[in-house]
Structure 1
Amino acid sequence: MVKVSVIMPVYNGEDFLAESIGCILNQTLTDLELICVDDGSVDDSLNILNELAGSDSRIQVYHQENRGGGAARNVALTYASGEYVYFMDADDKLELDALEKLYGLCEDKSLDFTIFKAINYDEDTGKYYETPDYSMEKLATQMKGKVFSFDDLGDLIFNITVTPWSKFYNLDFVKRSGAQFAEGLIFHDNVFFWEVLFNAKRMYFLDEFLYTRRRYSKSSTGAGDKRYANIIIIINRNIELFIKYDQFERYKTTLYNKKIFWIYMRYENIQQKYKQFFFDEMKRDFSKMLTHERYNEFIKSLEFKNRAIYDACIKCDNTDDFDETLSKSLKTNKMKKALNKVTGLFKK
């Protein structure tokens, strides 16, 4: 048994693949295996993988027809034999002492998994920058130096990024949790994250930047294509997990609001030619609540902007009407707030 199994799904990653694999092979912790699953790449990725595997026995290469990163990670998990498992993307970078540091921490504190920070790198501008999602400052502040469980986190559960590459997992724990990545969908890491989080008894936050996330327009989560509608399926699966683990009643108000917010955020960022498709999917999903037994509870729990998004979506049949209706609603509310503020000043 090796100390760490590193899992890397690969799809058309020829531009950065050798660099990313180099970050693993050159780790200060050398007792590892690198399991690469080529997900039907149409570029030179598979040849690069096979060539690298020929020069380092720690690399295993598998190939499958294109089924998505979630399926590739699930396949790789069946081959993993390490004490711990780490998920690496084929276009990113990891600090060379990261695995040694994370392994030692998990062994010392008997952790199910540890969480750490990531920095962003803009491939177009060459600049590094932080984002709240990957810095997780609230978690760092409140859980610094503590070993904690899911029950200790409260609303902080929504301040942890769902990305698998910012976590270092005990492999036996992952297998016992039954966690799997969603297959055939982007945003597939969500359901895996929530399943392991609900099961975790011993977690730790390492307040260090160990990972560099490469950002560029061709990435699956940055392309803004038709697959963005996957977010609707993923969010509903997340909610099903909250129900499964008896956490829905505790977090339902937050979940209702985040559902609307997350879906609308993807709608705003999808390419124009796919907006009507996304809108139709959004309306179809939102409309299911109209006759749902929880409708009154749902609608009363929504914050103003999310209620405005929901109402405009239900009312309208196309993106132009939806955008205009929502804009008017938000503008009217802004004016009301400004008027109330002025009126309040005069009353004083």
Structure 2
Amino acid sequence: MVHTVLIKVHRTLLSKHSVNSKLKCVRLVSQVTKDKTRRGLPIVHHEGYVSHLPPDHRFKMRKFERLFYYLLKDNVIDRKQVWKPERVSRKVLIETVHTQEYIDDFFSGQIGVKEQKKTGFEWSRGLVSRCRYETGGTLLAVEAALQYGLACSTGGGTHHAFPSHGSGFCLINDMAVAARYFILRNRVSKVLIVDLDVHQGDGTAFIFADDPNVFTFSVHCGKNFPLHKQKSDLDVSLENGVGDDEYMEEIGKWLPLILETFRPDLVIYDAGVDPHQKDALGNLNLTDAGLFHRDYWVMDRVLSHGVPCACVIGGGYSKDLDELSLRHTILHRAATKVWTDRGM
């Protein structure tokens, strides 16, 4: 099927430069030291990723616990690989990405009905806690990736959250918080966010629109949410129905170029499974094998450049909880193979 590629590069790849040394550092909530007793690919998970939602809600909240269940059940991982995050602090959220007014309102429940409708969630204390654990998980996945080269969370990828409001099932932008957090601490200078969720990462693109130290790369279905797109550093807009081969052709065209020219110190990879042919909100036609090949290729290509890669699961929608949860494990299965093949 014919598809269009919309390339919106609003600053030149080669104009990216190192972080301003005057930026203030942010202290870690919990300092993590390298543990030589750990074995295998770091998997970041917390039972706090789940909060209560009505059983018929479109967002299948329990997918986080079911995904973890299948990873253990199928012997993809064992418990020695699991890293347990802490909840991100209010201070970190405000110092990195979000406005104080929004975080104060979100934490205290002062979010209006209209704003709640835009996010797709009714506010609850459990929802706030869930988002804090999930963002803490992405921070920890980056820490693990910087230590070991590759790490995967069982959550994350809330790319529709803006500094002052949530949107599209996203309330805190975990990837943006993590990218800026580690830049502010001078752990990295340049971060590439590879967003392969079927929906454009509009919040992330907006947050880093004028930040030369973060490159946003989004491959998404053009005729899909959000209606009004933001400008990523590179947007690839696909037509409905694009399948495995055409999809990989586009990623293969652009990712190597970005890695070679921007030269990031860290990649944060959003491995959304909503491009799948059975996804309720996707409109693309990728298969299970196609998703596995995509994830393996992205991680392997990033690592071949000597760049650490922290992975989050992104979006995925289905009425069948177990089918969806298993689909999300494709990332961790592919990452495990990359880890093994590379002898990490």
Relative to the length of structure 1, the TM-score reads 0.27
Relative to the length of structure 2, the TM-score reads 0.28
Structure number with the bigger relative contact order (C-alpha 8 A, sep ≥ 6) is: 2
Higher helix share: 1
